[in-house]
Amino acid sequence: MHIFLYRFQEKLRVAVLVSKAALQFIQGLAPASEYTVPDDVKAAGYGICAEELSSIVESHDIKKLKSHGGVEAIAAKLCTSPEDGLPKSRRRQAVREELFGINRFAETESRSFWVFVWEALQDMTLMILAACAFFSLVVGIATEGWPKGAHDGLGIVASILLVVFVTATSDYRQSLQFKDLDKEKKKITVQVSRNGYRQKLSIYDLLAGDIVHLSIGDQVPADGLFLSGFSLLINESSLTGESEPVAVNAENPFLLSGTKVQDGSCKMLVTTVGMRTQWGKLMATLSEGGDDETPLQVKLNGVATIIGKIGLIFAVVTFAVLTEGLFRRKIMDASYLSWTGDDAMELLEFFAIAVTIVVVAVPEGLPLAVTLSLAFAMKKMMNDKALVRHLAACETMGSATTICSDKTGTLTTNHMTVVKACICGKIKDVESASDTKSLFSELPESAMTLLSQSIFNNTGGDVVFNKSGSREILGTPTETAILEFGLSLGGDFLAVRKASTLVKVEPFNSAKKRMGVVIQLPGGAMRAHSKGASEIILASCSKYLNDQGNVVPLDDATVAHLNATINSFANEALRTLCLAYVDVGDGFSANDQIPEDGYTCIGIVGIKDPVRPGVKESVAICRSAGIMVRMVTGDNINTAKAIARECGILTEGGIAIEGPDFRTKSAEELNELIPKIQVKFSLLLLVMARSSPLDKHTLVKHLRTTFDEVVAVTGDGTNDAPALHEADIGLAMGIAGTEVAKESADVIILDDNFSTIVTVAKWGRSVYINIQKFVQFQLTVNVVALIVNFSSACLTGSAPLTAVQLLWVNMIMDTLGALALATEPPNDELMKRTPVGRKGNFISNIMWRNILGQAFYQFIVIWYLQTEGKWLFGLKGENSDLVLNTLIFNCFVFCQVFNEVSSREMERINVFEGILDNNVFVAVLGSTVIFQFIIVQFLGDFANTTPLTLKQWFNCIFIGFIGMPIAAAVKLIPVDF
């Protein structure tokens, strides 16, 4: 289905591009016709309609755009201001929504419950059971008549319907949950100018005429036109499939919804919203997935199929053995040539026995257990601030052996402030307002002018006034810290920006570790400002401002002093940035490259980003859980080491390596380096500083391919997308993360906290181990029931457990067992064991020990009851066989009830701890006992049972309970993992 949708999407993309090209060709040949504004649009005061705007942007019709007077004329026709945005008016907003639409996509209709019922009926195992039900009805009615002979067949039908409705209900609820999660995933906000204020709005609140501010990593929220900006590159691969980015500027001003900002920044005029956009038209034909099977579901589907086939083989062998016995008798009696109706009925009875063996062998509940466990985990993880985008991430995270973590915003609070500064050679603490005022009074006026120019012009942030009239700083945490520092020094953001003209902007580049601008000063002179990683910017400087504010050449002593300052700031866990400028020639144009050398150093600032509370404890938990934590950051090596030590990541004997050094290592050297820091999950950890996006990707790929690690990666920037995509589990930050990072991730950490990542790992392990518990429980029942019925049928010619009874046991094993064991919440013990890793066996030696120990006890009990049960319970008379079979059935069920409790822990003796905290588990156990009582006491004809006495009930419960101390004793047998 997904392959079909993908192919259809590719065909649709081609069709869109072909139609666009054809439209442009036709419009190029045809003379431009005069546009007539529709009457309703004109009456509302607008000068252009939604259809005309859609055709201009979608077809990239620059000729038609010019015929309307250009982008600013379009803004005027939409009654909006490029500076202030849409005016505030509810009446006008309602009219605008009616004429131009709202920015929402029409969602495909949810599939009804009955569709899920039909899909559940397609299951092969249920088809086998349906065939068994049909033959059971035929055999039963033929041998015992109606209605008694139909009990087994109708029981199988009832069980099939129960399984189908439980499966359909689970899948239906899961689809609703995916829909809720999808809504959460699409909660995207953008910066918009409205009513003269810059503010954050949901993309669904955008209207035609809104002025949207886009920067690197953002997703274009609607179709629109470029108003102003710098170095804007748009990735249109989501629409066109072309990986090469498109430059958008005044000559090519068209922006399409769903594309992503790869580089630069801009101000965009929204022209088309919702279903009228090209992305909306594409989405109208497609629906998002979300129902892919996870690797564990696929694996368990395979296990269920194999077990079902084994059961089928046992059934065929049983039928063959019984039939052979009948033929032998006929040959011995010399009556093999004469066959009576009784002989045919006997053959049908043999077939019914074979059917019961197939019934007990088919484990419908295995995939259902995974679905229930994952759905439960996803819901709980959402409460714990983790949004799971891909279902497989739940189980994969439980096997994670390595976490490569970002520093800023993940290990730290992401609320930065400038706490130290070295301006004009003077080092000052500037944590308090009085410290800042003191620095301001000591700085020469010329230095203050240059510092304000650098801070307020060379920035990706903004200083605005919100609706309440209070000042607000917008931008990344680093940008807001620098802007706040500039304002505290008495600088005026708007005045400085108006005093000069921006000629060229190069946004921050993660590879160069710097950003730059060129401005035109009031006198016409050109000046470039650069800001970035201290050692990189300082290496570009040949001069500096001395304590008098004069420009003097950089000598070795000053360079040594500045480098020592950078190191001292970094050793205090401060992130350092260097500010510098250079005067460029008057002939500089926007097409020229900003100089990279010859700068004058203005100063160095140290920014503090405190470590989040609980991070050190979380890292310690990871270490005890066998998960190695690595910090990969773009910071100075000393800053990185200081933060890593504070978090407990870098310990004695640990290795810290810089990105440039890492890049020079050959594959052989990396193979030697990484094992040294991974010996038995020891305390040796890696800190990588000044890394590039490809460093992170290389590290992750090396860990996954060479060392078979299961790698989780955290990231928030567009530059983290390759590593997030390469990792087994990509974890994007929900607050600081760009849309590109979120789209590349499997899990979104809504609170940007490393502690939440540990919670995700804990839930992942919980999912994995809960499925193991369930499989252990189910295989125990399967092994016992299969061997008992097979051996009994072959030796005595009859099976002690009927099809209806076995189907009820299947319900306990499958639906109820899955519901109980798959919803066990995680405990702290989960994080005290080593991870399973990539090659770990799903059914471990511990599970086999528990399965075989419990199965042996149950098999011995049932065989003893079959052979000595009448003597043990003192049964006599015609009804003794029915009573004995009822007692065997009752004992077997209570063995499963108590085994379910024992299965809560695979290694620990105490299985009762926390049992009352799991309401679902208690409810399932209670329901099982109540239903068993009803089946035995009141459904005799249907289930082939007879009411039992109080003493017999007590004996059955006691026999089942004995399984618990036996299970505890079996756990004392030491085995390897």
CA 94, chain centre distance (Å): 37
**765-788 burial string, b = 16+ CB within 10 Å, else e?**
bbbbbbbbbbbbbbbbbbbbbbbb
Choose among 411, 416, 373, 410: nearest CA to 394. 373
Read off the amino acid at residue 779.
L
Which burial class, exposed, middle or buried, applies to 36 when counting CB atoms under 10 A from its CB (0-12, 13-18, 19+)?
Answer: exposed
For residue 376, give the H/E element and its range. helix 365-383
End-to-end CA, the chain: 39
N residues, the chain:
977
Quick one: which of 192, 194, 193 has its CA closest to 203?
192
Other beta carbons within 10 Å of 918: 16
Task: Report phi then psi at 572, rounded to 5.
Answer: -95, 15
Which member of 61, 152, 171, 406 is catalytic? Answer: 406
Pairing mode of beta strands 729-733, 711-715: parallel
Two tokens, residue 661: 């050094």
On whether the CB atoms of residues 785 and 925 are closer than 8 A, the answer is: no
Contact at 8 Å (CB) between 831 and 381? no
Q: Measuring CA to CA, which residue among 651, 728, 657, 646 is closest to residue 687?
A: 657
Residues paired with 254 in a beta bridge:
225
Amino acid at 16: V
User: For residues 769, 772, 773 and 775, what is the CA-based torsion angle, rounded to 10 degrees?
Assistant: 160
Is position 406 annotated as part of the catalytic site? Answer: yes
Q: Three-state DSSP class for 719?
A: helix
The DSSP element (H or E) to which 272 belongs, if any, is strand 260-272
Pairing type for strands 747-749 and 711-715 reads: unpaired
Which residues, in sequence order, are CB contacts of 417 under 8 Å at separation 6+?
A: 431, 481, 484, 485, 607, 608
Q: Is 401 exposed, middle or buried (0-12, 13-18, 19+ CB in 10 A)?
A: buried
DSSP-based three-state secondary structure for 765? helix
CA angle (105 as vertex; 103, 106 as ends), nearest 5? 135
Q: Which burial class, exposed, middle or buried, applies to 958 when counting CB atoms under 10 A from its CB (0-12, 13-18, 19+)? A: exposed
Instruction: Name residue 422's amino acid.
Output: C
Strand-pair partners of 687: 631, 656
Please tell me the distance from the alpha carbon of residue 933 to that of residue 948, in angstroms, as a whole number.
Answer: 10
Q: How far is CA 929 from the centre of its chain?
A: 38
Cβ neighbours of 871 (radius 10 Å):
8
Helix (H, G, I), strand (E, B) or coil at 529: strand
Contact assessment for residue 205 and residue 103, using Cβ atoms and an 8 Å cutoff: yes
Q: Which tokens in the block code for residue 236? A: 């249109």
Amino acid, res. 329:
R
Ramachandran region of residue 752, left (φ > 0), alpha (ψ -120 to 50) or beta? left
Closest among 412, 299, 296, 382 to 763, alpha carbons compared: 382
Element spanning 29, H or E: helix 2-29
Instruction: Give CA–CA dist 153/160, Å, rounded.
Output: 11
Closest CA to 513 of 577, 581, 420: 577
Cα–Cα distance measured from residue 707 to residue 670, given in angstroms and rounded to the nearest whole number: 11
Which amino acids are annotated catalytic? 406
